[in-house]
């Protein structure tokens, strides 16, 4: 009878530990995604502020993206607008029974900047398949 109780106690303890690890991992991943969202907003603001009179060059836009640990995937200027596609990533610690490892999460956004002081940029989240660097 005692061995059965010990096995049940051990199994219960392992289940509780696994649940806590999963909850912590999900919380860290969510924080990484929130950080990506903040970086996307900052990228958007920087490109808009950089391009008060005209849109920044592709090299300048790439530098702004890199400042936020992102990759400029496409740069498409036109007469009255600029569309960029940017791939952001964030890292977080992923805890398992075997230790801690770093994991990455990715988000891809398309930014459409319109000419004019009153024109607000439009940000659209894209599936990662549409965000592979060329």
Region 6-28: mean pLDDT is: 84
d(CA 78, CA 101): 43
d(CA 79, CA 67): 27
**Least confident segment among 30-39, 70-79, 96-105:** 96-105
d(CA 87, CA 33): 13
Q: Specify the pLDDT at position 59.
A: 93
In this prediction, residue 116 has a pLDDT band, given cuts at 50, 70 and 90, of low
Total-model pTM: 0.79
Q: Specify the pLDDT at position 6.
A: 81
Q: Specify the pLDDT at position 133.
A: 55
pLDDT digits (tens, 9 = 90+) for 35-48: 999 999 999 999 88
d(CA 119, CA 25): 39
For residue 34, pLDDT beyond 80: yes
């Amino acid at each position: 009878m005692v061995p059965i109780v010990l096995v049940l106690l051990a199994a219960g303890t392992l289940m509780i530990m696994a649940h806590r690890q999963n909850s912590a991992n999900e919380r860290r991943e969510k924080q990484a995604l929130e950080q990506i969202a903040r970086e996307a907003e900052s990228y958007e603001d920087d490109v808009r502020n950089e391009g008060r009179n005209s849109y920044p060059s592709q090299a300048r836009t790439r530098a702004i993206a890199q400042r936020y640990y992102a990759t400029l995937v496409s740069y498409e200027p036109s007469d009255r607008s600029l569309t960029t596609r940017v791939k952001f990533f964030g890292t977080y610690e992923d805890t398992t029974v075997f230790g801690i490892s770093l994991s990455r999460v990715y988000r891809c956004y398309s930014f459409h900047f319109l000419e004019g002081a009153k024109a607000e940029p439009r940000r659209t989240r894209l599936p990662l398949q549409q965000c592979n660097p060329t």
